[in-house]
């Protein structure tokens, strides 16, 4: 059984791409997901992921009507994701998290309304493409998808190596950071825009519905039990990678969606982390 599984991995490009994508998604969760949780904007992930569907619908509409046949759905998803990030960052320039959450909700509603509106004018054969981005399937990724994930993962790693300290200060106290001379406004835009791009590119692998579980739940779980920023990042990567690998392996055992299994495991990790934290505190 083990030998057969290894042969499948070594000979199947589909499985190889899925494994690489799992590692890259885990890196994205460890960077963007961790600091979105630190920033107190976990709803941003769900808002951006669903808003990106508006961009996908717009791209398909432009292709179907021959207005812009070159307009790729991924490009549309990224544009709408950045729109949500910019609006959210603008609303939170004074560091008020509540206003940022409202901005996410409004832009999410606008983007989804655009998606539903455009779906009415799309050929029936193209509508399932939108639902494909909603659900996602890591086994259907092509080489371009892997390259895009690799690019955003490397960009995020570089970004957080260079500005980790600034992002931590921003997450703890935006107004205080500004008072001490840090350009918190610029770092806020930088963090949210890169996180939004990462989320938009991740939805094709795990879907808009489950991207929240994969990117946020491991970070939230790690944040419950780890005491330092570096440990939270490492813990997030390990939990996300374990969830992705178990989801991939489980999909061959019970014939279920890898993303669905991974999402369930990621969500359960947060529940377990809460119980572990309570147990540690009680001792």
Tens place of pLDDT for every residue, the chain, 283 residues?
556 655 656 577 888 899 999 999 999 999 988 888 888 778 788 888 888 888 888 899 998 888 888 888 888 889 998 988 888 888 766 655 667 778 888 887 888 888 888 888 888 888 888 878 877 788 888 888 899 899 999 999 999 889 888 888 887 777 777 777 778 888 888 888 988 999 888 888 888 878 888 889 999 999 988 888 889 999 999 999 999 999 988 888 887 888 889 989 999 999 999 998 888 777 6
Specify the CATH number for the domain of residue 255: 1.10.3470.10
Per DSSP, the residues of 207-275 read -TTTHHHHHHHHHHHHHHH--SHHHHHHHHHHHHHHHHHHHHHHHHHH---HHHHHHHHHHHHHHHHHH
Q: Which residues contact 27 (CB under 8 A, 6 or more apart)?
A: 153, 156, 157, 237
At 97 the pLDDT is 63
Task: Indicate the number of domains in the chain.
Answer: 1
Integer Cα distance of 155 and 21 in angstroms:
15
Among candidate residues 240, 235, 216, the one with its CA nearest the CA of residue 277: 235
Q: Which residues contact 182 (CB under 8 A, 6 or more apart)?
A: 166, 169, 170
Task: Domain of residue 233: give its range.
Answer: 2-282
């Amino acid at each position: 059984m083990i030998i057969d599984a290894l042969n499948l991995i070594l000979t199947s490009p589909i499985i190889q791409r899925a494994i690489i994508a799992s590692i890259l998604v885990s890196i994205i969760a460890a960077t963007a997901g961790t600091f979105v949780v630190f920033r107190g904007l976990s709803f941003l992930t769900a808002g951006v992921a669903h808003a990106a569907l508006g961009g996908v619908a717009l791209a398909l509409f432009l292709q179907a009507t021959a207005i812009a046949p070159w307009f790729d759905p991924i490009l549309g998803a990224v544009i709408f994701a950045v729109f949500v990030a910019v609006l959210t960052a603008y609303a939170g320039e004074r560091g008020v998290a509540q206003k940022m959450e409202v901005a996410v909700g409004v832009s999410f509603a606008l983007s989804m309304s655009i998606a539903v509106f455009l779906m009415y004018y799309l050929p029936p054969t193209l509508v399932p493409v939108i639902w494909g981005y909603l659900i996602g399937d890591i086994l259907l990724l092509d080489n371009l998808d892997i390259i895009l994930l690799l690019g955003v993962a490397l960009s995020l790693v570089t970004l957080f190596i260079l500005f980790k300290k600034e992002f931590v200060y921003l997450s703890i106290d935006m107004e205080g950071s500004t008072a001490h001379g840090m350009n918190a406004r610029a770092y806020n835009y930088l963090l949210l825009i890169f996180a939004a791009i990462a989320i938009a590119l991740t939805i094709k692998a795990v879907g808009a519905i489950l991207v929240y579980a994969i990117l946020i739940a491991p970070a939230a779980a790690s944040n419950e039990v780890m005491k330092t920023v570096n440990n939270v990042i490492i813990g997030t990567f390990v939990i996300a990678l374990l969830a992705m690998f178990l989801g991939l392996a489980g999909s061959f055992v019970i014939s279920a969606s890898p993303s669905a299994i991974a999402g369930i495991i990621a969500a359960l990790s947060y529940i377990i982390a809460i119980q572990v934290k309570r147990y540690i505190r009680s001792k």
